[in-house]
Amino acid sequence: METNRQKKIAGVLQRDIADVIQHALREAGVNGILVSITKVSVTTDLSLAKVYMSVFPHKEGEAVLEEVNAVKSQIKHQIAQRTKHQLRRMPDLSYFIDDSLEYIEKIDRAVKGIDNPLENPDLLERRKKK
C-alpha cells in the first residue's frame, strides 16, 4: 500500500513528466501522436519511479517508448530542475507502455460482437506455459 508521501510524489512526477514529454513532442514537430502519463508508482524508499504511458495511436507505442528511453537522462534532469524545491532526491525513472485502454477496447469489441472470439479463436492471445 502506498503512503501519502509516495502518492504526492507520484502526482508531482506524473504532471511534470507529462509536461516535459508533451513539450518535447511539440518541439520535435511530431503531430498526430498523443502521449499521456496514466500512472506513476514510486517505491517506498523513493529511489525508483515506474512511469506508465499511454500512446495514441497504439502502433506508435514502441517507437515512442524507445525514443523516451533514449533521452531518459535529459527528461530526468528537466524533472529534477522542476522539483528541486519539492524533492531532496530525484528517483530513477523507468518507462512502460500502459496498454490497458487497448485491452478494454478489445473486450468492448468482443462484447458488442464485432470481434467474436468464439467464431475466431485466433483473436485470443495464447496462454504462456510455465
Do 29 and 8 sit in the same domain of this protein?
A: yes
Residue 79: the pLDDT is 93
3-state secondary structure of 39: strand
Cell numbers representing residue 98 in the block: 500502459
Do 94 and 104 sit in the same domain of this protein?
A: no
Nearest in space to 89 (alpha carbons), one of 3, 13, 1: 13
pTM of the model: 0.77
Do 21 and 83 sit in the same domain of this protein?
A: yes
Structural domain total, the chain: 2
What's the CATH number where 14 sits?
3.30.300.20
Mean pLDDT of 56-78: 89
Q: Give residue 107's domain range.
A: 100-130
Residue 129: the pLDDT is 62
Do 63 and 113 sit in the same domain of this protein?
A: no
Do 88 and 112 sit in the same domain of this protein?
A: no
For the chain, percent of residues with pLDDT exceeding 90: 40
Residue 52: the pLDDT is 94
Query: If 0-12 CB within 10 Å is exposed, 13-18 middle and 19+ buried, where does residue 89 land?
Result: exposed
Q: Higher confidence at residue 114 or residue 63?
A: 63
Do 63 and 123 sit in the same domain of this protein?
A: no
Do 41 and 15 sit in the same domain of this protein?
A: yes
Q: Rounded to an integer, what is the distance from CA 77 to the centroid of its chain?
A: 18
Residue 4: the pLDDT is 92
Condensed to tens digits (0 to 9), the pLDDT of residues 88-126 reads 889 999 999 988 777 777 778 777 777 766 677 676 666
Residue 117: the pLDDT is 66
